[in-house]
Every structure is written in C-alpha cells, then in structure tokens.
Structure 1
Amino acid sequence: MNHVAIDIGASGGTVFLGEVTESSFDVREVHRFDNRPAERDGRYVWDVDALVGHIADGIRAAEDGVDGLDTVGIDTWGLDFGLLADGELLRDPVSYRDPESTATREQVFDAVGKRRLFDATGITNWNTPNTLWQLHTLAEREPDLLAESDGLLMMPQLLSARIGGEPAGEVTIASTTQMVDPEERTWATDLLGELSVPTDILPPLAEAGQSLGPVDEAVVSGLSSTPEIVTPASHDTAAAVAGLPLDEDAAFLNTGSWFVLGVERDDPVRTDAAFDNAVSNELGVDGSVRLLKNINGFFMLEECREAWREAGESVDYDDLLSAAEQAPPRAALVDTDADAFGIDEPMPDQIRAYCRRTDQPVPTGQGGIVRCLLDSLAAKTALELDALAAVVEGPPSRIVLGGGGVRNELFCQLLADATDRPVSTGPVEATAVGNVLTQAVAAGTVPDIETGRDLVGSAFETTTYEPRAGDEWTRAKERLAALTDASSSEA
C-alpha cells in the first residue's frame, strides 16, 4: 500500500511516500518546505494557509509515479494548537516560542505547585511553554477568545481537518500538553478545573490509527485517487520512536529542533526520583509510555544558519561541520535550555553574549560557534541520560539515534564519547518511518508495531559509534552542570 507521511517541524516540513508490503518497507522524500513562525501584530504565529498549501503540493508529488495513494497522515511538533468556532480558526495559532506564551507560568506554579502538576500529568517540563500554560495565559488575559471558541485542535489534527478530516484528538500529541493523565490516557480534567482552564473545547482522545475521512478534492486538487486521512502517531517524537529498532537495553534520542531522550516502558513512572530528576511521561503507540527528557536541540544551530544566510555567508552543512572539526574542542559550553536563547535576536550574537556573561572564551567564526553547540548538546545529553538512568530499572547501555543527527558524524562521535555508550544510528527520517509504520498498522498491511520495527531494522543500514573514554568529558559535564544550575537559579 502507498502511505503519505507529512512530517512538519518547527523549522520545516517534509512529505514522504511510504510503500509497504508484508515483507518490504520503503520510504522516500517527495517534497520539502520551510516553516518558521511569522511575526504578526507583535506575536509569533504559524501560517496555517501556507502549511495547507505545502501539504497539498506534497500529496500531489507523492502520487506522481505510483498507482494511487491509500492513506495520508500528518505529524508535527508538540504544544501548539488552534482555537475554532463553527469550524473556523479564530486566529493564527501562536508559536510556543512566542515570549508571551509563558506569561502566567509562575501563576500556574503558585496555584497548584509543580508536584501536583507532575502527579496529575507525569510531565516535568518547567521551562517549555506547554499547552497548559498557553491556555492558562488565555484564560487570564483573553477570556473572551476562549469563551468564543467551541473547539481546540492540536496542530496535526488542525491541519488534517483543513484538508478534509473530521476534528479529532490523538493521545501522543495530546500528551505534550501537560493536560493528560498518562495512566488513563485521557484529559486531566480535575487539574484543569483547578486552574480554570476550560475543558469543554477539548476533543475526545483516541489512540493512533483513527480514520478521519477522505482528502478533500477541493483542497488537494488534481489527484487520481482519494486517500483516507488517518491519525498516525501524530507527535513527531512518538512517530520517531515508533520507527526506531529499540529494545529494553536501549535509550532513544530523536534529534531535530528538539532533542528527545528517553526509554520506552509499559507504564508511567511518577516516583519521587522521576520528579526530582525532571523526567516526563509522554504517550506512545500501542499503549506505551515514553519516559523522557526534552533538550533544546538543533534549533540553535538552525537559527545560526538563518542569521548567516541573511548575512550572505555560507550555510552548507559540510562546510560548517568541517570548520567545527578544526575548532578547539570544549572551549566554551552553553546551556541550550537557558531562557537567554530565543528567536528575537541573531543566535550567533546570543551565544557570544552568553559566553561573555559566563566568563568563557568567546567562540569565533562559524566553526567555533558550531563546535560550541555540538559539544554543548553532547554534554547536555550525557547529563540528561545520567538523570534518566537514576529513575529506571536497568539503565540503558546504548543509544539508538534517529533524526537529522544521524547524518552528523562529528556529533554522533561526540555523543558516544560524552555518554560513554555506543551510539547506533536508526533511520535519518525516523519520524517519517514511524508515521508510515503506524499508518500501515492501521491499514492492516503490517499486523503490529513490533513486526513493523523488524521490517524497518532490515530496511535501513546502521552505523555504530564506540565511545572513546576521556576525563575531558567528565570535566565538560561538570562545567555544563554548573551553567545549568546557574540558569535554573536565574529562572
């Protein structure tokens, strides 16, 4: 069968054609487009009309050269949503990176406390503007907007509805909101009531694999077939983990604008150790739970490339990585999760300013900045893996890597060195693979996720990077931990 996977991240989107049989699994890219928040009326928002146009172009491109399409599934980043009235958007969805998204964060903490939030939702993202904070801000500052709304859709389901699908909710994307009970896999309505966040606008939640109706020919014209819209694992990380060849000994690391590090388990973990180490429980496919840590990932690198592009400088990855290899290792480190880094100023300037404030050598040139970021991300991931290992029984002995970092050989080796664990690469396009896989299971082509993972394991080549022990990474982790503690104190 032919499945179209539409994977949209916070910096770009890609459309893939997946051709799956009982014994074969093939995924190839057919369309790519940029996606960045647009500044409108002083806010950073998502251009839904532009995204729908790109999606339509991608579906048409996927049909070229094949005998019709069977299903279409959309996954996106988490957190963001659209508010609707009578099926129409009330305004452009606001990006979670918009500074106003965290406006009432401290009020949420004061109202119910961090431990109550964790016990109710299993989520410990205190610095990421989850949907809960965004809705609480609206309830406090724009109550008329919420009163006017009769429905909320997370971004994948909003886009699915715009191309013809029925409005719906899906558990993997909903679990990023900090508004879902991970045990019951339903909205945490008691918590939301305590915070005066409306629950009547929330859609019923279902597992991946829902059929939402056919693609609307008026929106996606020119097709010779009428594919069915289904919900894959619609959070991009949930899709990526579904597409990785994992076992109980392995941690996953999905690399993109965000890094998501974790392990897959059957049940949520809401122990004191999980709370103290800030481990979150997000929902995965087939009833699974992903115990994880979120790390601000290649977002900063992409923001640097954007600034250099605007300045007329080269942004070719090979050139940047070659320059980074020549730069001094671990000369300067940054806490990538610090509030100091945003989208309102050129990122290279922000990095240099951070290093000055923290009395570190200021990286020079593109190579110095890229090396600073890669070293920092490797050390940050190592610290978060230590925290994760303190929570789970049988700590992971290796890492399976998915996403764009698979192509970055320098980063893969730095990660193995910093974590002192072998790093094996999964599919570069792990998210698309998992999107296609969950569609194939819904269509009955593949009986279950485990069988699909076996297909994936035989369809993609794997490279393993062995760690090279060295005290320099122990010292680097200690330096970064001190910077992270300082960032937390300032927040």
Structure 2
Amino acid sequence: MNHVAIDIGASGGTVYLGTVTSSSFEFEEVHRFDNGPVERNGRYVWDLNALRNRMVSGIEAAADREPSIDTVGIDTWGLDFGLLSDGEVLRDPLSYRDPDVTETRKSLFETVDERRVFEATGITNWNTPNTLWQLHTLARHEPALFDQADSLLMMPQLLTTLLGGRPCGETTVASTTQMVDPSERDWATDLLDDLSLPVDVLPTLDEPGRRLGPLASDVAESLSSTPELVAPASHDTASAVAGLPLAEDAAFLSTGSWFILGCERREPVRTDAAFEHAVSNELGADGTVRLLKNVNGFFLLEECRKSWREAGASTDYEALLSAAREATPRAALVDPDADEFSIDEPMPEQIRSYCRDTDQTVPEEPGEVVRCLLDSLVTKTALALDELTTVVDEPLSRVNLGGGGVRNELFCELLADATGRPVVAGPVEATAVGNLLTQAVAVDTLPDVATGRQLVEEEFELATYEPATTDGWDREKNRLAELATE
C-alpha cells in the first residue's frame, strides 16, 4: 500500500511517500518546507493557514509520483494545541517557545507541587512549557477563551482536521501534555480538577491507528483515489522510536530541535529515583511507555545558522562541521537547557556571553561555536544517560540514534566517546519511517511495530560508531553538571 507521512517539526516539515508490504519498505522525500512560530500581536503563534497550504503542496507532490495513495498520517512536535468551537479554531495556537506561556508556573506549583504532578502523570518536565502550563496560564489570564471553546486538539490532530479528518485524541502526543496518567493511558482528571482546569474540552484518547475519514475533496481532486486519513504515532518522537530497530537493552536518542533520550518499557516507572533524576513517562506505539529525558538539542545550532545566514555568512553544514573538527575540543561547554538561551537575541552572541560569564574560553569563529555546541550536547546527553541507567537499574549497552544527528559523523563519533557505548546510527528519517510503519499497522499490512522494526533492520543501511577516545569525559560531565547548577 502507498502511504504519505507528513512530519512537521518546530523548524520545518517534510512529506514522504512510502510503499510498505509485508516484506519490503521503500520511501522517498517528496516535499520540504520551513516552519517556525510567527510573531503576531506580541505573541509567538503557529500559522495554521500556512501549514495547511504547505501540507497540501506536499500531498500534491506525492501524487505527482504516485496518484494512488491509500493513507495519509501527520506527526508533529508535542506540547502545543488549538482550542475550537463548533469545529472552528478560535485562534492560531501559541508556541511553547512564546515567553509568556509560563506566566503562572509559580502559582501552579503552589497549588500542586512537583511531586503531585509526577505521581499523577509520570512527567518530570519542569523546564519546557508543556500543555499543562499553557492551559493554566490561559485559564488565569484569558478565561473567556475557555467559555467559547468546546474542544482541545493537539497539533497533529488539529492539522488533520484541516485536511478533513474527524477530531480525535491520540495517546502518544497527549502524553506530552503532562496531563495524562501513563498507567491508565487516559487524562489525569483528578489533577486537572485540583488545578481548576477544564476537562470537558479534552478529546477521548485512542491508540495510534485510528482511521479518521477521507482526505478533504479539494485536496484529493488531483489524486486517482481518495486516501484515508490515519492517526499514526502522532508525536514525532513516538514515531521516531517506532522506526528504530530498538533492542530491549538499548537506549534511543531522537535528534532534532530537541534531543529525546530514553528506553522503551511496558510499564511506567514512577519511583523516587525517576523523580529525582527527572525521567518522564511518555506513551509509545503498541502499548509501550517511553522512559525519557529531554535535552535542548540542535535548536541552538539552527539558531546560530539563522544568525549567520542573516549576516550573510556561509551556513553550509559540511563547511561548519569541517571547521568544528579542526577547532580545539572541549575548549568551552554550555548547558543547552540554560534559561539564558532564547529566540529573542542572536544565538552566537548568547553562547559567547554564557562562556564569558562562566570564565571559559569564548568561541569566536563559527567553527569554534559549532564545536562548543557539539561537545556540550554529547556531554549533556551522556549525563542524561547515566541518570536513565540509574533509574532503570539495568545496563543500556548501546544507543540507537535517529534523526538529523545520523548525518553528522562528528556528532556520532563524539556521542560514542562521551557515552562510552556503541552508537547505531539510522535510519536518518526515523520519524518518517515510524509514521509510515504505524500507518501500515493501521491498515493491517503489518501485524505490529515489532515486525516493522525487523523490516527496518533488514531494509536499511545502519552505521555503527564504536567509542574511540573515552578519556576525560567523566571530567567534562562533572564540569557541565556544575555549570547546570550555577
């Protein structure tokens, strides 16, 4: 069967055409577009009209190659949502990177402390403005919005309705909200009641694979048949993990604007150790739980490239990575999750300012900045892996790597060194692969995700990076841990 996967991240979107059978898997990129929050009336929001137009262009590009398309599925980042009334979106959704979406965070934790939130949801995310925080701020500052709203949809489902799909809820993306009980795989309504947040707007949650009706007629008119809209594992990380040939004793690292490090289990872990080490429980395909930690990832690098591009400098990846390889290793480290880093100022200068303020060598040239970021990202990831291993109390013998980091050989080499573990890199487009596989499961081409993973291992070329230089990384982890507590 032929499937279209629409994968939209916080900085861009890609559309893929895939053909999956019980013994083969082929796919290709057919369309790519930019994405990002836009500033309107002093707030950062997502432009829904622009996103719909870009998705339609992607489906049309897929139809140019294969007019007979069976299903279409959308995955996106988590956290953000739209409020609707009678099927109409009340306004463009706020971005989680909008500085004002966490205005009431302090009062939220005065009402219910962090431990209560963790016990209810299994989420230990105190740094990223997820749905819970956003709803709390909206309910306090814009209560009239909730008087109008009759439903809330997370971004993948919201975008699916723009293409004609029925409204629904889906467990993998809902679990990013910090509003879902991971054992029940349903909304943590007791917690929401304690916070006086509306629960009547929340959709019923379904597992990945729900069929949502035909593609809108104005989009399907260029196709030889009308595809069905399907909810895949609609959180991009859930799709990425589903697309990795993951062994039980392996960790995964999904690399994009955010790094998501974790391992897959059948039951949530809400122990003291999980709480202390900030390990979260998000839901995956086939009834799994993803134990994970978030690290602010290539967002910092992309913001640097944006600043250099605006200044007229080269942003060619190969040239930047070549310069980074030649730069002095570990000359300076930054905490990628530091509050100092924002979208409001040029990122290269924010990095230099951080290094000056922490009495480190200041990276001046682009190659030095990139090396600083790569060293910092792998060190922070290695720290997170140590904590995850402590929580699961089991050895995690390798790291399965997906996402854009797969193409970055220097990053892969440094990651193997910093973690002291082999890094199995690939597939590059793990999110698209997982999206397509979960669509194939939804239409019974494949029986389950495990079978799809076996197919991935057989059909894709994977690269393995063995640790080469592990000396000194414990010192760097200690150094970064100190910076993170300052």
Q: Which residue of 2 aligns with 1:167?
A: 167
Paired letter, 2:398: R
Q: How does 1:232-247 map to 2 (within 5 A)?
A: 232-247=232-247
- Taking the aligned partners of 1:221 and 1:338, their CA distance within structure 2 comes to 48
Cα shift readout 1:440-475 (whole Å, capped 9, x = no counterpart): 000111111111111111111111111124332111
- After superposition, give the CA deviation of every residue in 1:212-270 in whole Å (9 maximum; x if it has no partner): 00000224542222100000000000000000001111000000000000000000000
Alignment of 1:17-56 (within 5 A): 17-56=17-56
Q: What is the SS of the residue equivalent to 2:4? A: strand
Q: Deviations over 1:124-159 (max 9, x none)?
A: 010000100000000111111111111110000000
Q: Which amino acid aligns with 2:350?
A: Q
- Counterpart position of 1:463: 463
Aligned-partner residue type, residue 332 of structure 2 = A
- Do the aligned residues in 1 keep the contact of 2:67 with 2:223 (CA within 8 Å)? no
The answer to whether the 8 Å contact 2:220/2:226 transfers is no
Secondary structure of the equivalent of 1:102? coil
Deviation of 1:9 after TM superposition, in Å, equals 0.1
Do residues 261 (structure 1) and 256 (structure 2) align? Answer: no
Q: Which residue of 1 aligns with 2:419?
A: 419
* Matching residue of 2:104: 104
CA distance in 2 between counterparts of 1:436 and 1:138 reads 35
- Hey, what's the Cα distance between the residues in 1 that align with 2:288 and 2:447? 17
Structure 2 CA distance, aligned partners of 1:35 and 1:66?
26
Any idea what the Cα deviations from partners look like across 1:44-77, whole Å, max 9, x if unmatched? 0001100000100111111223250000000000
Unaligned runs of 5+ in 2: none
CA contact (8 A) 1:280 1:293 kept: yes
1:80-479 alignment, distance < 5 Å: 80-219=80-219, 221-479=221-479
| 1:90 alignment partner AA | L
Larger displacement relative to structure 2 (449-458 or 167-176): 449-458
CA distance, structure 2, for counterparts of residue 227 and residue 367 of structure 1: 46
> 2 CA distance for matches of 1:368 and 1:103?
35
SS class of match (1:390): helix
TM-score (normalizing by structure 2)? 0.99
* Distance of 1:236 and 1:416 partners within structure 2: 24
Q: What secondary structure, in the 3-state scheme, does the structure 2 residue paired with 1:73 have? A: strand
Alpha-carbon offset, residue 393 of structure 1? 3.1
User: Could you tell me which residue of structure 2 aligns to residue 483 of structure 1?
Assistant: 483
RMSD of aligned C-alpha atoms?
Answer: 0.8
For residues 220 and 364 of structure 1, what CA distance do their matches in structure 2 show? 51
2:220–2:227 contact (8 Å) kept in structure 1: no
Q: What letter is aligned with 1:93?
A: P
Deviations 1:167-194 (CA, angstroms, capped at 9, x unpaired): 0000000000000000000000000000
Q: What's 2:70 paired with?
A: 70
Distance in 2 separating the partners of 1:167 and 1:198: 18
Identity %: 70
CA distance in 2, matches of 1:67, 1:47: 28
Q: With structure 1 as the length reference, what TM-score do the two structures score?
A: 0.98
C-alpha separation between the residues in 2 aligned to 1:250 and 1:110?
A: 38
Say if 2:252 and 2:263, in contact at 8 Å, map to a contact too.
yes
**Distance 1:322-1:195 versus aligned 2 partners, 3 A rule:** same
Conservation of the 8 A alpha-carbon contact between 1:163 and 1:220: no
- Tell me how far apart the structure 2 counterparts of residues 67 and 214 of structure 1 sit (CA, whole Å): 15
SS in 1 for 2:153: strand
What is the distance in 1 between the residues matched to 2:358 and 2:196? 40
More deviation, 2-11/472-481 = 472-481
Q: Distance in 2 between matches of 1:470 and 1:149?
A: 54
Residue 361 to residue 149, structure 1, CA distance change in 2 (3 Å): same
Q: How many residues align?
A: 486
Once residues 218 and 470 of structure 2 are traced to their aligned partners in structure 1, the CA distance between those partners, rounded to angstroms, is 60
Secondary structure of 2:196's partner? coil
Check the 8 A contact 1:102/1:134 in 2, yes or no: yes
Q: How far does the alpha carbon of each residue in 1:286-322 deviate from its partner, in whole angstroms, 9 at most, with x for none?
A: 1000000011000000111111111111111101100
Q: Tell me if structure 2 keeps the 8 A contact 1:217–1:223.
A: no
